[in-house]
Amino acid sequence: MLAAAQAWLAQDPDPETRAELRALLTFASGGDTAALADLHSRFDTRLAFGTAGLRGEIAAGPNRMNRVLVAQAAAGLAAYLLARAEPGTTPSAVIGYDGRKNSQIFATDTAELLAGAGVRAVLLPRLLPTPVLAFAVRHLDVSAGVMVTASHNPPNDNGYKVYLGDANEGSQIVSPDDGLIAAEILRVAEERLVPELPRSAYETAPESVVQAYISATAGLVHAPLAPVNAVYTAMHGVGWDTTRRVLEAAGFALPTLVDAQIAPDAAFPTVAFPNPEEPGAMDLAYRTADEVNAELIIANDPDADRLAIAIPDPTAENGYRRLSGNEVGAILGWRAAENAVASAAASGTPIGTLACSIVSTPALQAVAEAYGLNFADTLTGFKWVSRAPGLIYGFEEALGYLVNPGTVRDKDGISAALAFLSLVSDLKAEGVTLAEHLKRFSARFGHFASSQISVRVTDISEISRVMTRLRQSPPEAVGGIRVTSIDDLSAGFDGLPPSDVLRIRLADGSRVMVRPSGTEPKLKVYIDTRSEIGSVPERTAAATAALAVVDAGMRELIG
């Protein structure tokens, strides 16, 4: 292991990680057990490249994010693209980056190394949101896209997302491409040293690419029917400049800003965790909204591919309630269905597919059925949601929404923010609040309630033990409610690829999804209930009560 660390040190071009690793080696060689354990953590395994690309803490070693790992990833991606290019053609890639630590460095390294390998490499002109990169893959008609971001991860993390063009239409990679790229990366790591990898000049994309995204996004909605007093936070990320230009192009008044969080800042100084779902992350937005009596709070995560919404609620501690991803997803899905009907007025038959991940609320399926649209549930992640045939709208409960699949094939927190702001404007013109519109949804489709159990473990094998126990000794009831069926997706199910997921259906119509987290040492349980009986308050009470019963039952089952 010490020899591997020394070899890594010799090819590391980054003075910061070189100095860090050199110090660790000195301490470890002197018998420091903590330093030795740290080195084992970094060098005993390797940060795996998969359908989510790469993501991890910035530090030296193959199990961390750094310039050596990124260089190997870029060279491996180049080899994959060159091997699959049509004879006589040059593959191409566009590279984007956000405002995190080392994002621009990793992106520039990638562009130089792709170009050096013989791939036409185009770097976006400056730090930009992930949706702009996803858009650029299709707009520039390139073979692949790379976005350097760790989205809403902790401050010292960074990551590497890969998209494919051509038949993949700009979606994120899925199997088998992830495995093929990973194999090329490992081959590079085994056979080449980073200083030996050729580098060459790359192109810089013109600002017209960004303007094309802005124009396409602004064109999604009609002119506002009523002004909306909104507050916006970028969560120290890169969302605001592009969002501002989109809102201006669409004719909307600009929101009040959470000034302390509006500029990109890799330290994320005002939040413990730059994720709108985390407790405390929205506190400054709530405070700002209270000061201006805002009707709506709009929050993007740091790379602006996710959207959080909050509305006034006098019963909430801060005076505002953040809507769940399922609530926002269902409301935007209803709007998408209405738009599909309106655009199909001539033919009389709305067409298209509403899609969401299997752990998201069943409410979207109810909307699709009510409007005669197709519905698709997919595995978790927008790499799957974006591939639903005939997609006109997709979402996942983790604050991801795709309202413009014609131009972007990934979740897009900017276009979703515009669509939601437009919805609130339309409702205000009718004299209806968003809270009242949510009740309309319950009256039309039934009331859906959702909760999530997240169990963090220190021993990752504990998750496998729980999943094995549920498979070998399936429960006959949850919280006293009879289990009617259990679908095991491990070998694939109903057209879905294999996935370590259990779907449990209960006699009262409730549904439970159990799966290991794809990015953290957690077991996740998603619970959904529904009531269509009685008034809206009665439906709400019944679904909420059922949720509490099933939640308690699942906590008991998984220990």
Q: Quick one: how many helices (H) and strands (E) in the chain?
A: 17, 22
- Contact 65/158 with Cβ under 8 angstroms? yes
Q: Which of 92, 103, 143, 151 is catalytic?
A: 151
- Contact 352/340 with Cβ under 8 angstroms? yes
Q: Measuring CA to CA, how many Å separate 293 from each of 107, 214, 256, 527?
A: 41, 29, 11, 34
E-strand ranges in 124-194 read: 144-148, 157-164, 171-172
Smallest Cα–Cα separation from 546: which of 403, 470, 446? 446
291 Cβ neighbours under 8 A, 6+ residues apart: none
Q: Which residue is associated with the tokens 């909306």? A: 228
- The two tokens of residue 441 are 């949804």
Residue 355 pairs in a beta bridge with 376, 394
Our answer to whether residue 454 is catalytic in this structure is no
Q: Which helix (H) or strand (E) holds 78?
A: helix 67-84
- Contact 396/355 with Cβ under 8 angstroms? no
CA distance 450 to 550: 11
CA distance 134 to 138: 7
3-state secondary structure 507-528: CCCCEEEEEECCCCCEEEEEEE
- Contact 127/240 with Cβ under 8 angstroms? no
Q: Measuring CA to CA, how many Å separate 312 from each of 275, 326, 426?
A: 20, 18, 18
- Please list the active-site residues: 151
